[in-house]
Structure 1
Amino acid sequence: MKGKTHVMLGVAAGITAISNYSLEKGIIFISSTVLGSLMPDIDHPKSKLNQKLLFKKNRIFKFVFYIILSLGCIYFGISLNNKLLKILSITLAFTGLSHHRGFTHSLLGLLLFSMVVKILAIRYNLIGAYKGFVIGYISHLIADSFTKGGIELFYPCSIKITFPFTIKSGGNEEELILKGLYFYLIYVLLKFIGV
């Protein structure tokens, strides 16, 4: 699916989950769902996040970039005995080595990325950010399970998981879903302001 569809799914899931949050906590939560909804595609060199991170948008540069980051994290993680950097090192190495819809689209990817975010959320007292990130990430995995390519949910096992009915990424069905999400968000916002 396209990045904007993942973002809208993440925002819709996040808004549905935050009925009792203050405005400040709600903004942090929704921002985290957006990040979580985009994170699984970090394994693709032309993803929304990698467009900001990579100088060259190809698999070789993606591999080199994430492996260098991983080596830096493991060096400092061991030197400083820092759990966050050690976990981040493993996560970045898998990201660099993985193909699209492999590691980052799996339960292992969800676990490792979520561990990194949870450590940061606890450190900075932003547990809502952790919850939002997980909701966004899971919404991405579910959405990509509806595409013809499916996902390797049990990576490193390469079995593709798809729902019985699938949609074409970027196709008419995805556009219909996107329009439905726009209407849903408008409805929720109107309800929020009391209209």
Structure 2
Amino acid sequence: MMAHTHMAFGLLFGLLSLSFISPANKYVFIGIVIFSSLLPDLDHPQSKLGRKLCFSRIFNIFFGHRGFFHAIWIPIAVWLILSLGFGITYGSAVFIGYFAHLFSDGLTKSGINLIHPLKQLRMQGFIETGGVVEHLVFFAVVILSIILIL
């Protein structure tokens, strides 16, 4: 999926999570969720964040794209570390954004292996990255988010 679609899913997942989490500042929480929805693509030098960070190319060489950084272990570890250091609210915000990215990439034809490198537990859909269906999904997710905001 493209960065804008990941961010839209991050927004939707963040808004949905506000039913269960009561952050001190909802705007900061949602901002962290949206930003975190871009984090898994740090292993892709041409991604929105990857173009801005020099170590993205190194991550790509060692881990490849949609490998280690697209497994469920990373958001769980980050959630645990951030929750212990900064509180469960911010750890949860990063987890939710990261998971939104994994979920949306799981809808693509390329899919992801959720438990990489252990075994194949593929989450794979039918959406072509950057294709017409992705754009339709993007607009649907934005509309759902607007409905939740209103």
Higher share of residues assigned helix: 1
Q: What is the Cα deviation at residue 185 of structure 1?
A: 2.2
SS at match of 1:30: helix
Q: What is the Cα deviation at residue 187 of structure 1?
A: 1.9
Q: For 1:102-155, what per-residue CA distance to the aligned partner results, in whole angstroms no more than 9, with x for missing partners?
A: 001002222333334334423xxxx32211111111111111111111112111
Q: What is the Cα deviation at residue 36 of structure 1?
A: 2.1
Contact 1:28 1:129 in 2 (8 A): no
1:153 aligned residue (95, 108, 114): 114
Tell me if 1:186 matches 2:121: no
Q: For 1:29-70, what per-residue CA distance to the aligned partner results, in whole angstroms no more than 9, with x for missing partners?
A: 111211221111111112222222228xxx7xx21xx6xxxx
Q: RMSD of the alignment, in Å?
A: 2.4
Closer, same or farther: CA 118–46 of 1 in aligned 2, 3 Å = farther
Aligned partner letter, 1:112: A
Q: Counterpart of 2:31?
A: 31
Tell me if 1:51 matches 2:51: yes
Q: Counterpart of 2:75?
A: 110
Runs of 4+ with >4 A deviation: none
Q: How many residues were matched structurally?
A: 149
Q: Which runs of 5+ in 2 are unaligned?
A: none
SS at match of 1:169: coil
* Within-5 A mapping of 1:124-139: 127-139=88-100
Q: Which has the larger radius of gyration?
A: 1
- Report the TM-score, using the length of structure 1 for normalisation: 0.67
Q: Percent identity?
A: 30
Contact 1:29 1:131 in 2 (8 A): no
Tell me if 1:169 matches 2:129: yes
SS at match of 1:167: coil
